[in-house]
């Protein structure tokens, strides 16, 4: 009987030892797995932070690059003044509400003559004013600019100064030029030959309004090829916008 009791106690002790060893092994394995999971989550968090930083950097770089183009995307209010130097030409222009006209100056800030300097104003209602007649400005020379605005309401505007280049002699069909001259002559009640063609260029208008939308009119939203002709008569500049074959002509000084 005593021998049986000793045998039972030994078996019980061995069983307890085996269970204790199994529990210890399971605990260590769980701890290792938990550490790996924690490490993985922490690593993923660092990766997420890195990605967020990358997106911020790309956004900053994109914002810094917005100002490099010649035509600024900045929109100005009716009481704002545009004062920017582009390609050596300093343009200062603002809107004169009492005369419904943009007035300002363009100045050569370089030591060289600037060729073919001209200015366009783009209104938020889609109308483009100008360009002004091309000027050659000597070093330090300043010239006044005037562009009558549209009778249609607009809330903001942007300026587009240009130097050099231009499309002064870009070919345009003679019948289109003649039709544009006749249109302006009839409107101004003067001889059509009194107008001087300053520039002509091929244009892809953004829609069927030919860059000169009229209030209350709806236009097909399709790119429309055409021409832009600029004439002068004395100190006044006239623009005529056409479609590709000249069957549609619109006087687009912004004040029609």
Question: What gap in Å lies between CA 181 and CA 168, rounded to an integer?
Answer: 17
State yes or no: pLDDT of 107 exceeds 90: yes
Spatial neighbors of 110 by CB under 8 A, at least 6 apart, are 88, 139
The mean pLDDT value for 92-118 works out to 92
113-154 per-position pLDDT tens digit: 888 888 988 888 778 887 787 888 999 999 999 888 877 788
User: Residue 254: how many CB atoms within 10 A of its CB?
Assistant: 24
Burial of 94 (0-12, 13-18, 19+ CB in 10 A): middle
Give the per-residue pLDDT at 17: 60
Kindly report the average pLDDT of the chain as a whole number: 75
For the domain made up of 69-166, give the CATH fold: Immunoglobulin-like (2.60.40)
**Percent of the chain whose predicted confidence (pLDDT) is above 90:** 25
State yes or no: pLDDT of 183 exceeds 70: yes
State yes or no: pLDDT of 85 exceeds 80: yes
Give the per-residue pLDDT at 57: 39
Contact 206, 219 (CB under 8 A): no
Residue 52's pLDDT band (cuts 50, 70, 90): very low
Hey, where are the domains in the chain? 2-67, 69-166, 167-256
15-45 per-position pLDDT tens digit: 656 565 555 555 555 444 544 444 444 444 4
Helix (H) or strand (E) holding 55: helix 2-65
Residue 56's pLDDT band (cuts 50, 70, 90): very low
Burial of 146 (0-12, 13-18, 19+ CB in 10 A): middle
Question: What gap in Å lies between CA 209 and CA 226, rounded to an integer?
Answer: 11
Distances, alpha carbon 175 to alpha carbons 19, 178, 242, in Å: 105, 5, 12
Give the per-residue pLDDT at 125: 79
3-state secondary structure labels for all residues of 69-101: CCCCCCCECCCCEEEEEECCEEEEEEEECCCCE
Coarse DSSP helix, strand, coil percentages of the chain, rounded to the nearest 5 percent: 35, 30, 35
Give the SS3 label for residue 129: strand
Give the per-residue pLDDT at 161: 83
- Rounded to 10 degrees, what is the CA torsion of 91, 92, 93, 98? -150
Give the per-residue pLDDT at 197: 87
User: Residue 100: how many CB atoms within 10 A of its CB?
Assistant: 13
> pTM value?
0.48
């Amino acid at each position: 009987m005593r021998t049986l009791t000793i045998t039972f106690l030994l078996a019980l002790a061995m069983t307890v030892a085996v269970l204790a060893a199994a529990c210890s092994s399971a605990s260590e394995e769980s701890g290792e797995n938990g550490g790996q999971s924690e490490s993985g989550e922490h690593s993923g968090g660092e990766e997420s932070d890195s990605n967020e930083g990358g997106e911020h950097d790309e956004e900053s770089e994109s914002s810094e690059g917005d100002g490099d183009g010649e035509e600024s995307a900045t929109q100005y209010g009716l009481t704002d003044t545009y004062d920017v130097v582009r390609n050596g030409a300093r343009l200062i222009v603002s809107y004169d509400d009492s005369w419904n006209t943009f007035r300002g100056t363009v100045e050569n800030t370089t030591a060289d003559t600037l060729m073919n300097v001209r200015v366009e104003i783009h209104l938020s209602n889609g109308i483009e004013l100008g360009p002004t007649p091309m000027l050659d400005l000597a070093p330090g020379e300043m010239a006044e600019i005037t562009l009558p605005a549209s009778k249609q309401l607009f809330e903001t505007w942007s300026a587009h100064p240009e130097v050099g280049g231009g499309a002064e002699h870009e070919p345009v069909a003679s019948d289109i030029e003649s039709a544009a001259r006749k249109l302006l002559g009839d409107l101004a009640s003067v001889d059509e030959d009194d107008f001087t063609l300053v520039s002509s260029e091929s244009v892809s208008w953004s829609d069927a309004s030919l860059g000169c939308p009229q209030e209350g009119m709806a236009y097909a939203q399709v790119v429309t090829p055409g021409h832009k002709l600029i004439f002068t008569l004395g100190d006044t500049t006239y623009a005529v916008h056409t479609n590709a074959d000249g069957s549609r002509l619109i006087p687009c000084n912004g004040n029609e």
